[in-house]
Amino acid sequence: MSSTDLSAPGQLHAVHVLGTVAGAHVSSLVGGLVARGVDVTVCGPATAEADYGFGATGARYTRVDLGRALTADAPAVAALRTAAVGAGVVHAHGLRAGLLAALALGGRRTPLVLTWHGARPPADGRAALLARWLERRAARSATTVLATTSDLVDRARRHGARDVRLAPAGVPRPAARPPRPPADGERHRQRVRSEFGAVDRPLLLAVGRLEPDAGYETLLAAAGLWAGDALQPLLVVAGDGPRAEDLRQRAAEGKLPVRFLGARDDVPELLAAADLVVLPSRWEARALIAQEALYAGVPLVASAVGGTPELVGDAAVLVPYGDAGALAAAVSELLADPERRTALSVAGRAQAATWPTEDDTVAQVLSVYDELTRA
């Protein structure tokens, strides 16, 4: 069987198992697989179908709630076992999805592909032990591990994975917007900035879930340091999450130049208005906001963690995680140096042009399926 054979309708049935990560990537991937003639079933929570519309891709959707606990879930395993009957390959996204898929397959010879999108395990305690156990079990259970960053490749190999390959996940490139005359574009930019009271001051943007590992405590500490800057930058944070109320309270008590916007669906408009994007996370694989910033040519200051250095190369300013002083200094220096910001804008777009496309991702996955089903 060749990769050309796989494109024949009904030639291969692939079952994708989706937990709580990478819904947008899986939707893009299965859409590309279906378009190339692969018969695809997606198993995942009801919310994922509502959020990502897998039915519109041509794939079948089977509701299987994998939960969030690190231990096995008998109903989920039974449902996956049924869904995988007759499958040529099972492809799990995320470690828990990989472990449950392996349990569902049992002694079957069906190849199991695991895409490790990445999450930093807890630093210590029982949760850390369980997380490392899950990493080890999932990595060893898979026929092939597709790791989205080089450090995840290394982690999978340390855990004893049989076959590990670097497979950066391509994301949709921003849709081209109708060009505006320069004057109209500037008016639109100023209109968005005026919404936040940042017409005459720099506007910084952070986007993401407000959760413990997102580094927002460091970002607020940095905001306290640059609050005394002559430039007086304003930070706006788009996103929601379990730490939202606590972070809002801290910002209010410290009278920090920060506004929390909640969840937003207009990130491209916010990017067009921002002077800088900041990403203070404790760990990232290939952060979507980092990719969006470089695509848009907006200078990025980010923690030098996980897959971020590999993703951005020399096209962003990287600082140590948790170092509020370094983060504040990097922001202040960039705001005071328009030539450096322009250089980063150009470099960012050039770096983004080197990233894999959605078609590249689909082609790599099809090649892996072909290899495993022939074997």
Q: Which residues pair with 41 in a beta bridge?
A: 15, 60
Share of the chain above pLDDT 70, in %: 90
Helix (H) or strand (E) holding 166, with range, is strand 164-166
CA 368 to centroid of chain Cα atoms: 22
Q: Which residues pair with 47 in a beta bridge?
A: none
Residue 354 pLDDT more than 70?
Answer: yes
Per-residue pLDDT tens for 169-222? 877 676 555 555 555 667 778 888 888 888 889 999 999 999 988 999 999 999
**Structure tokens that stand for 174 in this block:** 């921003």
User: Does residue 72 or residue 274 have the better pLDDT?
Assistant: 274
Q: How far apart are CA 6 and CA 278, in angstroms?
A: 43
Q: Which residues pair with 317 in a beta bridge?
A: 301
Q: What pLDDT is attached to residue 355?
A: 93
What's the average model confidence in pLDDT over 73-86? 92
Q: What pLDDT is attached to residue 270?
A: 95
Residue 264 pLDDT more than 60?
Answer: yes
Q: How far apart are CA 137 and CA 145, in angstroms?
A: 12
- Taking the whole predicted model, whether its pTM rises above 0.75 is answered as yes
CB atoms inside a 10 Å sphere around CB 94: 23
Per-residue pLDDT tens for 313-344? 999 999 999 999 999 999 999 999 999 999 99
Residue written as token pair 């990130």: 267
Q: What pLDDT is attached to residue 161?
A: 96
Residues contacting residue 269 through CB under 8 Å, at least 6 positions apart: 192
Residue written as token pair 């009278």: 255
- For residue 214, the SS3 value is helix
- For residue 284, the SS3 value is coil
Which alpha helices (DSSP H) does the chain contain, by range? Answer: 3-6, 23-35, 46-52, 74-83, 95-105, 125-141, 150-158, 182-195, 216-226, 244-253, 267-273, 288-296, 308-312, 324-335, 338-352, 358-374
The backbone torsions φ and ψ at residue 311, rounded to the nearest 5 degrees and listed phi first, read -70, -45
What's the average model confidence in pLDDT over 75-92? 94
Domains along the sequence of the chain with CATH:
3-170+356-374 (3.40.50.2000), 182-352 (3.40.50.2000)
119-123, 131-135, 170-174, 237-241: range with highest mean pLDDT: 237-241
Q: What pLDDT is attached to residue 6?
A: 39
- Could you please report the per-residue DSSP string of 38-106? -EEEEEE-HHHHHHH-GGGGT-EEEE----S-SS--HHHHHHHHHHTTT-SEEEEESHHHHHHHHHHHT
Q: Are 219 and 243 in contact (CB under 8 A)?
A: no
CA-closest candidate to residue 148, choices 368, 303, 308, 320: 308
Per-residue pLDDT tens for 37-72? 999 999 998 888 888 888 888 999 999 988 665 556
**Structure tokens that stand for 241 in this block:** 């999450």
Q: How far apart are CA 226 and CA 325, in angstroms?
A: 9
What's the average model confidence in pLDDT over 246-254? 96
Q: What pLDDT is attached to residue 105?
A: 95
Q: How far apart are CA 154 and CA 166, in angstroms?
A: 10
Residue written as token pair 């079948």: 60
**Rounded to the nearest 5 degrees, what angle is found at the Cα of 26, between the Cα atoms of 298 and 123?**
70
Residue 4 pLDDT more than 60?
Answer: no
What's the average model confidence in pLDDT over 230-251? 93
CA-closest candidate to residue 70, choices 99, 28, 93: 99
Q: What pLDDT is attached to residue 68?
A: 62
Q: How far apart are CA 71 and CA 67, in angstroms?
A: 10
